[in-house]
Amino acid sequence: MNVTQKLISSHLVSGEMKAGSEIAVSIDQTLTQDATGTMAYLEFEAMGVPRVRTKLSVSYVDHNTLQTGFENADDHRFLQSIAAKYGIYFSKPGNGICHQVHLERFARPGQTLIGSDSHTPNAGAAGMLAIGAGGLSVALAMAGEPFWLVMPKVVRVNLTGALQPGVSAKDIILEVLRRLTVKGGVGKVIEYSGDALKHLTLPERATITNMGAELGATSSVFPSDEQTLAFFKAQGREGDWIELKPDSGALYDEEFEIDISRLEPLAAAPSSPDKVVPVRELSGVAVDQVCIGSCVNSSFTDIVSAAKILKGRRVHPHVSLTISPGSRQVLEMITSDGTLHDLLASGARLLECTCGPCIGMGQSPPTGSVSLRTFNRNFPGRSGTQNDKVYLCSPLTAAASALTGRITDPREYVKGHAPVAVADKYETDDSLIIPPSSEPDKVEILRGPNIKPFPVKGELDASLKAKIILKAGDNITTDDIMPAGAKILPLRSNIPAISEYVFSKIDPSFPERAKEAGSGIILGGINYGQGSSREHAALAPMHLGIKAVLAKSFARIHRDNLVNFGILPLAVKADLYDSLEQGDEVVFPQLSKDVRESAFVAMVSGKSGITHKIEHGLTPREKEIILAGGELNYIKTKRA
């Protein structure tokens, strides 16, 4: 077996490992972050389970740390109290980004992890099966339920050669994105192998697995080998390491090869992670802002690599350069070894150990400017500035460009620099990770006024007449459906309030029109719901009365979230998409009967009177969830 099959087979509780079949796997670990965590724990509470049933669950605060009002601070207090009561570790604000800290302190080869953040596959660098999911799926795992998914195809990416100076792991994953696109990984796990792995450190591997989320992949995985052991030893966790490699002659569904010695510095142009071009072709593009950080490029090696280029030089006078260390560990190490001095002396600005600008939480770029970022996403407006021009690149390219004020090939700046290796010993201080209470019965859960009850949907309608409230195009992201940023993120625990911003970047009138209609349909194009795992992109439309989403195809996590909250996802052919318009009325004359008894649902176009038979593609388990009005209703009924 390959590594992916070994991980799945050792945790398989239902189904068979046949690509395209529905399977269920047991979950060892979960993680949440504060933008998704409050709702996930409200969902967990609703199940009535006295304590988490995983080997490890961790609640991180790394998204909503900008405290301009009481909302975020109240959520943090709620999260810490609920973690203490239910057996969850709590990583306090300032301790770092969930994926960076989890890799440093909790990742374990051979185990499974799901997290309420789409970049959870970051931990696949350590030989874990790590998958991003909606908060309800994570809540169910904490309650002891397995995680259901479609058995993915396994794609082998054979890496050969060694990176040349000035080229980094970010350029490897950008090359994969250039080849596969943002929808090329849907229904697949990307597994890396080859001779080049002996040169790739765990932080470099994490950059690759992290940004595999932009492929739409279920996960990305590296074997657990000598490089993994070196990182675990440096973290003082060699006892958590096991070897995990593919068998000789292991088979894969697809394979391709990248000779990384032939790669050059790459960048993703606005406004999609797969619009990848060589940096040399962008040479001369003026840059106003450079941001180094985010969960994909905020490790100790990333920050030090950038600092080596900046040392003894000054940032261009027209450039604002920010640095966001990925964890408190990283910050302490760059402080003690002098790296922080070099960064500040160059003119860089130091930000918190958080996601920050990556999710539009501060540092929005100026109007009409170019922002060069080491982040994983450059969806339109995600920075907080509408019509932004965000390019994605490596820390090396970012540092060189900050000096010149223009997008710059970093290779001339790294001459004589040895690659930054994994430290022999990382500074470890887990004092900001609070263990759960040993007396949970005495813990009071503290709720602020912005924390509203979890909304519940009724059973699937027997029949449905509804208008198409919005017709959208291809590659609609969860940022498009449910925007983030400093204004909206604090409302994540208040569904009625946050629902007022659904599709606000595309059509600000959407919430009002949906409420007026009472029942509504969304029509989408290819890859609907790509990007973040935020279940609010399903929860908030459900609150507004959306009953179904018709799209040419769906991103995996968002489709799961729609099912979780009782919204029927229907994949439609291009001709049906083309024939329908916003404002059209459609009728499902026997909706619940069709879902229960047939592979198709009948939909009548009010405009033409034509009846269309749409294959719903629901598994038997998903049928029951949709009929019940969502996963929470289904689980309650099942347990009763």
The answer to whether residue 640 scores a pLDDT higher than 80 is: no
Q: Note the pTM of the prediction, 2 decimals.
A: 0.95
Is residue 456 very low, low, confident or very high in pLDDT (cuts 50, 70, 90)?
Answer: confident
The answer to whether residue 455 scores a pLDDT higher than 90 is: no
pLDDT above 90 as % of the chain: 95
State the pLDDT at residue 639.
78
Structure tokens at 444: 């009071």
Q: Quote the mean pLDDT of the chain.
A: 96
Residue 376 CA to residue 132 CA, distance in Å, equals 15
Residue 451 CA to residue 45 CA, distance in Å, equals 13
3-state secondary structure of 626: helix
Is residue 421 very low, low, confident or very high in pLDDT (cuts 50, 70, 90)?
Answer: confident
Sequence-distant (6+) residues with CB within 8 A of 276 are 174, 175, 177, 178, 266, 267, 268, 269
Residue 111 CA to residue 613 CA, distance in Å, equals 42
Structure tokens at 13: 């509780």
Intra-chain end-to-end CA distance of the chain, in Å: 39
Per-residue model confidence as pLDDT tens digits over 135-158: 999 999 999 999 999 999 999 999
Q: Determine phi and psi for 324, rounding to 5 degrees.
A: -120, 100
The verdict on domain 464-639 having CATH code 2.40.50.430 is: no
Q: β-pairing, 389-392 with 370-373?
A: parallel
Write out the H or E segment, with its range, that includes residue 552: none
Is residue 165 very low, low, confident or very high in pLDDT (cuts 50, 70, 90)?
Answer: very high
State the pLDDT at residue 617.
96
Residue labelled with tokens 């033409």: 608
Residue 578 CA to residue 570 CA, distance in Å, equals 15
Overall average pLDDT of the 193-219 stretch: 98
Residues 483, 492: contact at Cβ < 8 Å?
Answer: no
State the pLDDT at residue 503.
98
3-state helix, strand, coil split of the chain in percent (to 5) is 35, 20, 45
The closest of 272, 402, 429, 384 to 346, measured between CA atoms, is: 402
Is residue 436 very low, low, confident or very high in pLDDT (cuts 50, 70, 90)?
Answer: very high
Overall average pLDDT of the 78-87 stretch: 98
Per-residue model confidence as pLDDT tens digits over 462-496: 999 999 999 999 999 999 999 998 889 999 999 99
Instruction: Select the CATH number that applies to the domain covering 266-413 from these four: 3.40.366.10, 3.30.499.10, 3.90.1150.150, 3.90.550.10.
Output: 3.30.499.10
The closest of 415, 395, 407, 399 to 314, measured between CA atoms, is: 399
3-state secondary structure of 586: strand
Lowest model confidence (mean pLDDT) among 153-162, 304-313, 422-431, 448-457: 448-457
3-state secondary structure of 370: strand
State the pLDDT at residue 420.
85
> Side by side, which strands form the sheet with 349-350?
276-278, 266-268, 389-392, 370-373, 289-292, 320-323, 349-350
State the pLDDT at residue 385.
94
Per-residue model confidence as pLDDT tens digits over 515-537: 999 999 999 999 999 999 999 99
State the pLDDT at residue 197.
98
Distances (CA, A) of 192 to 2, 189, 200, 206, 217: 10, 10, 11, 12, 13
Residue 481 CA to residue 496 CA, distance in Å, equals 15
Residues 420, 333: contact at Cβ < 8 Å?
Answer: no
State the pLDDT at residue 415.
87
Overall average pLDDT of the 343-353 stretch: 98
State the pLDDT at residue 453.
86
The answer to whether residue 301 scores a pLDDT higher than 80 is: yes
Residue 461 CA to residue 518 CA, distance in Å, equals 13
Handedness of CA 344, 348, 349, 351 (dihedral sign): negative
Write out the H or E segment, with its range, that includes residue 303: helix 300-310
Residue 103 CA to residue 28 CA, distance in Å, equals 15
Q: β-pairing, 266-268 with 276-278?
A: antiparallel
Residues 44, 143: contact at Cβ < 8 Å?
Answer: yes
Is residue 1 very low, low, confident or very high in pLDDT (cuts 50, 70, 90)?
Answer: very high
Largest Cα span, the chain: 72
State the pLDDT at residue 115.
98
Q: Would you kindly state where each structural domain of the chain is located, as residue ranges?
A: 266-413, 464-639
Residue 538 CA to residue 563 CA, distance in Å, equals 9
Rg, the chain, Cα only? 24
Overall average pLDDT of the 331-340 stretch: 98
